[in-house]
A and B are shown apart, each in its own frame.
Chain A
Amino acid sequence: MNTDIHNPHDPAPSHGEGQPPDPGHSQGTTIVLNLNEVVVHSRRLNYAQLVKLAFPDDPPAETSDIVYTITISSPSLGEISLARGDKPVPVEEGMVCHVRTTGRS
């Protein structure tokens, strides 16, 4: 998996400060994740990385049996849905993301 998070197995607190800075993104990018602002230091995020940002204590989402509903509102891509295996999305200022488990009825 080619991502911009250099060490995805490090503990990643939900505000994203545990990630090593990305060259050219040293200031980080502020996005809204599950209603809270988070500074992200990577250029792109995939399904598993978004889960890790949102729920750092959950098992790795690549192999977990938990199915997350991930929605992203991005200035360049509009409203999109991200499933496991989808290609990473570019991180943009103003992006609004939800990582949820949608099992209630």
Chain B
Amino acid sequence: MSARPAVLEVVLAPFFNAGLRVSVKNGYIRVHDVPVVDQGRAVRRGTLIAQLAYTEHHVTPPATHQAWFEGPYPCFADGRPMEQLRHSDVPGGEITPGIPANFFFSNKEKGWTSYANHFEQLYHYWRLITDQARAVDPGCTPQLERHEPDVDPCTGVFRYVDANSLRGRFMHLSAKFSGLRMAIVGLGGTGGYILDHVAKTPVAEIHLFDGDVFDIHNAFRAPGAAESTDFGGMKVDYFHEMYDAMRIGIVPHRVYIDEATKDQLNGFDFVFVCVDKGPARGLIGAHLMAQGVPFIDCGLDVSASKTGQLSGVCRATVVTAAKNDHFFERAPTMAEDANALYAANIQISDLNAMNALIAVMRWKQCVQFYADAKGYHQFEFTSDLMAMTKSEVPCDAG
């Protein structure tokens, strides 16, 4: 018996008891060897498929009555297609890599409200399809014989199934993140919120670079809720531990990036730069451009009016192979922020988060997860106007 979470036994037992061969892979449960009548009235075999989201401790009940089918389109015993099953064809012949399917089914009993478990959900289709097959070949359904379920070990980066991509049926889009090696330089407010969102994509690795300590004030502009015992350790270790609950591949580096450590950024697929110091920003930007590593540099300002109200400006400067000549005109790399000498260092978590979101969404355009209509390489959000400027379009893009 393959090692599998005990919680799956409840899901799999009814299939096992019914003598059905079932397997679990990539967030899907599949019933194999389903006898099905094709249009030539021959009995063939197909596979019924439904989503199965689970962790070590919890199984999500079926979200819908729908299911997929791999095999010939199911027909009545006389060869007429069973149109009442049909919802749509599966584009590309697979739901997600490793899970082929031809048809998406939607059929339910009158008065249906929900299925308590995956067996009820799939048995509904199994019965409709195999009743017709038995009319052609009475011996086609297997004798009651116990098949040990085949459960694929979870091999992805998440410690449980990505039930969000699964539920929204965009696993094939999420696959655009797979294998990517990311770095976040600076785990302050902005870097923390960038991690919060990048961690929820299936990128292979997220390397965190920061030589600073997680202190009490950091808790008020970091995602999540720190405990009073969380302070005093390294920021990268705090965030590593927090997000390690959900996924593997987070690698803490307890260093600042400087002349001596900059080569540690070589070879990444994408880097988010969220540092406070201008010279560090300049050194990192110049090095990444020399290495041909695309990156987004983030920075914000919060200032008060004479009447004591705040306003923020969040800047994201994007540097890619398509455009990099604007970096030193757009990103502050000076040694001393002259205004910082008399300005209070105000930072607010939602402005950090806004800055992070602009950067993360633009990165998702770069990997073609989100559509990118214009190719802008510079963004500035101003909170008093709730407005965004967009500029720095690559020359060849007009």
Please list the residues of chain A having a beta carbon within 8 angstroms of any beta carbon in chain B: 34-36, 55, 58, 65-69, 71-73, 79-81, 83-85, 96, 98, 100-105
**Distance in angstroms between the alpha carbons of A81 and B317 in the assembled complex:** 12
**A65-B334, A66-B337, A67-B328 are known contacts; what are 18 more A-B pairs with Cβ within 8 Å?**
A35-B303, A35-B305, A35-B311, A65-B333, A67-B333, A71-B313, A71-B387, A79-B388, A79-B389, A85-B329, A96-B385, A100-B313, A103-B276, A103-B340, A104-B276, A104-B300, A104-B301, A105-B188
Pick from B301, B384, B387: contact of A79, CB below 8 A.
B387
**Distance in angstroms between the alpha carbons of A37 and B107 in the assembled complex:** 64
Pick from B191, B309, B330, B339: contact of A105, CB below 8 A.
B191
Given contacts A67-B331, A67-B334, A73-B385, contact A104 B345 (CB under 8 A): yes
Residue of A nearest to B316 (CB): A102
Contact with A along B327-371 (1 / 0, CB 8 A): 011111111011110000101000010010000000000000000
* Sample of 26 A–B contacts (CB below 8 Å): A35-B305, A35-B309, A36-B305, A55-B339, A67-B329, A69-B330, A69-B332, A71-B380, A71-B382, A71-B389, A73-B385, A73-B387, A83-B391, A85-B329, A98-B313, A100-B313, A101-B340, A102-B301, A103-B340, A104-B299, A104-B345, A104-B347, A105-B275, A105-B298, A105-B299, A105-B355
- The answer to the question of B274 belonging to the interface, with a C-beta cut-off of 8 Å to chain A, is yes
- Give every chain B residue within 8 A of A100 (Cβ-Cβ): 301, 303, 313
Residues of B237-296 at the interface with A, using a CB-CB cut-off of 8 Å, are: 274-278, 281
- Give every chain A residue within 8 A of B186 (Cβ-Cβ): 105
Pair A105/B276 contact, Cβ less than 8 Å: yes
Given contacts A67-B329, A102-B315, A105-B191, contact A80 B302 (CB under 8 A): no
**Distance in angstroms between the alpha carbons of A80 and B191 in the assembled complex:** 26
Please list the residues of chain B having a beta carbon within 8 angstroms of any beta carbon in chain A: 186, 188-191, 274-278, 281, 298-306, 309, 311, 313-315, 326, 328-335, 337-340, 345, 347, 352, 355, 378, 380, 382, 384-385, 387-391
The listed residue with most A CB atoms (<10 A of its CB), out of B315, B355, B388, is B315
- Give every chain A residue within 8 A of B390 (Cβ-Cβ): 79, 81
For the complex formed, measure the closest distance between the CB of B99 and the CB atoms of chain A, giving whole angstroms.
Answer: 41
Given contacts A55-B339, A67-B332, A81-B378, contact A105 B387 (CB under 8 A): no
Residue of A nearest to B356 (CB): A105
Pick from A72, A73, A98, A103: contact of B332, CB below 8 A.
A103
- Give every chain A residue within 8 A of B388 (Cβ-Cβ): 79
**Distance in angstroms between the alpha carbons of A67 and B387 in the assembled complex:** 21
Report how many A-B pairs have Cβ atoms within 8 Å.
116
- Give every chain B residue within 8 A of A73 (Cβ-Cβ): 382, 385, 387
- Give every chain B residue within 8 A of A58 (Cβ-Cβ): 338-339
Pair A96/B384 contact, Cβ less than 8 Å: yes
Pair B278/A103 contact, Cβ less than 8 Å: yes
- Give every chain B residue within 8 A of A35 (Cβ-Cβ): 303-306, 309, 311, 384
- Give every chain A residue within 8 A of B315 (Cβ-Cβ): 69, 102
Pair A105/B300 contact, Cβ less than 8 Å: yes
Pick from A68, A83, A96, A104: contact of B326, CB below 8 A.
A83
- Give every chain B residue within 8 A of A68 (Cβ-Cβ): 332
Pair B302/A104 contact, Cβ less than 8 Å: yes
- Give every chain A residue within 8 A of B385 (Cβ-Cβ): 73, 79, 96
- Give every chain A residue within 8 A of B309 (Cβ-Cβ): 35
For the complex formed, measure the closest distance between the CB of A25 and the CB atoms of chain B, giving whole angstroms.
Answer: 25
Pair A105/B189 contact, Cβ less than 8 Å: yes
For the complex formed, measure the closest distance between the CB of A73 and the CB atoms of chain B, giving whole angstroms.
Answer: 5
- Give every chain B residue within 8 A of A105 (Cβ-Cβ): 186, 188-191, 274-276, 298-300, 352, 355
- Give every chain A residue within 8 A of B347 (Cβ-Cβ): 104
Residue of A nearest to B343 (CB): A101
